[in-house]
Amino acid sequence: MRFRKIYRRVLFCFLIINIIAIAIFVVYNIDKNIPDEIKILVGTEEKFDFGMPVEANIETEDIGVISVNDQRVPSNQIDIDLNKPFTLKSDRTGNYNISLKLFGIFNYRNISLDVIDSVELIPCGTPIGIYVETDGILVLGSGRITGEDGLNYEPVSNKLKSGDYIIAINGRKVSDKNELIKEIQRNGGRDIILQVRRNSENIQVRISPVKTAGGTYKIGAWIRDNTQGIGTLTYVSSDGHFGALGHGITDIDTGLLMEISHGSIYAAEIMSVIKGREGEPGELIGMIKQQDKYKIGEITENSRQGIFGRVGRNYKGPEYLEPLKIGFKQEVKKGRAQIRCMLDDKVEDYDIEIESIDMGNSNHSKGLVLRIVDERLLNATGGIVQGMSGSPIIQNNKIIGAVTHVFIQDSTKGYGTFIENMVNNLE
């Protein structure tokens, strides 16, 4: 009798564990397959097939604007079963809220439905030189200073943090490190007040500079005020907006997204290629033509989705590149696609396989997993290399995304972002 009770308790525990495991698996798959944002074109019927045990309610005051399964819905609250295939269509642009209910019972989360006008972009794939200046002086870290008395000091220790931005000294605005150094020397060793931006909040920090044996004053902070590098131009729109990289510019030392005041993109020439191999990502070695006549455009935004701005009036891309419609997340399929990039003097398309699609990935720059299968590109680069970030991904004659990262252990594979993540600034 006692054995039976123990046996039942064990079975009950296994049942509870199985229920919890199933619930976790269901939630994981919902997060993976249902995005936080859905985009559709105005006046176009879009098909969806999530196959998830979730019911959705679309709330709108625009009665009759949205059609579900080709049926115009008069109610201001539209119910959809996401476990079955369905279609959506809207006759008006706008933003709508979709409430998800797990198993039709439990409130789960909200997603955004954006209805936008048709967008055509020129998928470029051309190498660009990138130069940006930080919005303030970026603090990388701190170090020790040997004073004129031979002792070691750390003036900014526990006062400045990696990722801080110095924006003023003693009430005087500074925009580059040379200005900061001059102001510190001019102050003659007296305490200085630094105005610092930390996590979008402005604070003041008092620092005591240290006089070195050479007679100069230092505060012991590693700082940076600009950065530059090689990347790939993803697209140019009909009205002159551009997007590039597919991910933001982060500081190489802190790993943080850089806050920029302004920047420019220039024409770049690829001089050589370091092929990627296991454990060592390759690289495009290029020369940035950093003169005004080679300037392509101005950078206005550095975000997690890439860098964005406007091209100049004199910009002329390759004439053989034609504009393509964009493909939304729901249109992307596993299988054959192409990436566009330039290794020699001409932009070419190279075959890839899309191996995985993660619509719900919170890291927008890693929504796609792709593998290079084109022997031409494999022979030239070994796969994806640094500098190819931003190379547009094309499938079914639509631009659907951009290359963002390479797998360190397998240079033939990498990540990509959906193009709709990069066109938000165009809406």
> Which residues form the catalytic set?
247, 374, 389
Please answer whether residues 393 and 334 qualify as being in contact, where contact means their C-beta atoms are separated by less than 8 angstroms.
no
The count of residues in the chain is: 427
Half-sphere exposure of 301 (CA within 13 A, CB side): 18
| CA 156 – CA 139 distance, rounded (Å) | 10
- In degrees and rounded to multiples of 5, residue 178 shows phi and psi of -65, -40
As given in the structure block, the two tokens for residue 168 are 């003023």
Q: Is the dihedral of CA 128, 129, 133, 138 positive or negative?
A: positive
Q: What is the 3-state secondary structure (H, E, C) of 138-195?
A: EEEEECCEEECCCCEECCCCCCCCCCCEEEEECCEECCCHHHHHHHHHHCCCCCEEEE
- Contact yes or no for 223/138 (Cβ under 8 A): yes
165-169 vs 172-173, strand pairing mode:
antiparallel
Token pair 């949205």 is found at 66
SS (H, E, C) 327-360: CCHHHCCCEEEEEEEECCCCEEEEEEEEEEECCC
Closest CA to 221 of 298, 169, 300, 145: 145
Query: If DSSP codes are grouped into helix, strand and coil, which group holds residue 93?
Result: coil
